[in-house]
Each structure stands twice: as structure tokens, then as C-alpha cells.
């Protein structure tokens, strides 16, 4: 079982819609959760972090964490073609406290 699971996609949404990306993790003791965006041919860049249950909003992005169900999600409101990228979920702070575990990423296509 992988530490972090994501649907590889692609997830296609029309411009202006809400894109919903999901991630589950296996280590119940995990404490820190991150979302990265990776454009084709580029490095991943950190876009959101969340540490406690509930929602965290930053502009058009909302991260949601549910530790009881061991899932993290990222909502992108008013999706733009420039949001088309692969989104990686990462988790840390579990039994191997120092390690970051990355999911394999979900590819998002926003169609004009």
C-alpha cells in the first residue's frame, strides 16, 4: 500500500468550474499536508499547506483535511486554463517523522 494515493486522472473541467482533487494517506499519525502544482517540464511548487481538520482558503484554492477519514482535498474555484497541471499531494510527520511522502499526482485539464 502506498503512503499517499491519488487518482492519476486526467480530470477535465470547463473554465470557470470548480475542480476537486482528492488524496488519501495511510499513516494515521501524519500531521502536515501539502499540495503542489507541477507544470509540464517544471519542478513542483508548493501552493497550499494544512495542518488541522477543516478548511483553509487561499484565494481560489481551498484545502480540506479530514484526519478521521485520512483524506485531503484541494478545491480550485473559477478554474482557469492556466490551472492545467499535475497536482501532487504530500504528507509528513507520521511514524517516519522526517520524511515527506508524495502521491503520484492528478493531472488537471481546464478546457476553455
Partner 1 sequence: EADIYQTPRYLVIGTGKKITLECSQTMGHDKMYWYQQDPGMELHLIHYSYGVNSTEKGDLSSESTVSRIRTEHFPLTLESARPSHTSQYLCASSESTGTYFGQGTRLTVV
108 is a site residue for partner 1 (CB under 8 A):
no
User: Judged by CB under 8 A, which stretch of 14-22, 63-71, 72-80, 86-94 contacts partner 1?
Assistant: 86-94
Cβ neighbours of residue 7 closer than 8 Å, sequence gap 6 or more: 22, 106
| Strand spans (E) along the chain | 4-5, 11-14, 19-25, 32-38, 45-50, 54-58, 61-66, 71-76, 85-92, 100-102, 106-111
For partner 1, the binding residue among 52, 68, 98, 112 (CB under 8 A) is 98
Cell of 72: 485531503
Residues between 46 and 85 that touch partner 1 (CB under 8 A): 46, 49
Interaction of residue 37 with partner 1, rule CB under 8 A: no
Give the binding site for partner 1 (CB under 8 A): 32, 34, 40-46, 49, 88, 90, 92, 98-100, 102-105
Amino acid at each position: 500500500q502506498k503512503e499517499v494515493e491519488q487518482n492519476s486522472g486526467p480530470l477535465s473541467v470547463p473554465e470557470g468550474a470548480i475542480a476537486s482533487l482528492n488524496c488519501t494517506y495511510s499513516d494515521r499519525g501524519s500531521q502536515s499536508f501539502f499540495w503542489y502544482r507541477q507544470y509540464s517540464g517544471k519542478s513542483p511548487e508548493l501552493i497550499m499547506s494544512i495542518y488541522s481538520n477543516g478548511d483553509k482558503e487561499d484565494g481560489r484554492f481551498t484545502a480540506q483535511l479530514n484526519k478521521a477519514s485520512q483524506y485531503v482535498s484541494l478545491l480550485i474555484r473559477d478554474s482557469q486554463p492556466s490551472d492545467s497541471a499535475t497536482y501532487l499531494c504530500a504528507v509528513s510527520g507520521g511514524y517516519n517523522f522526517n520524511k515527506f511522502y508524495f502521491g503520484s499526482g492528478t493531472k488537471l485539464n481546464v478546457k476553455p
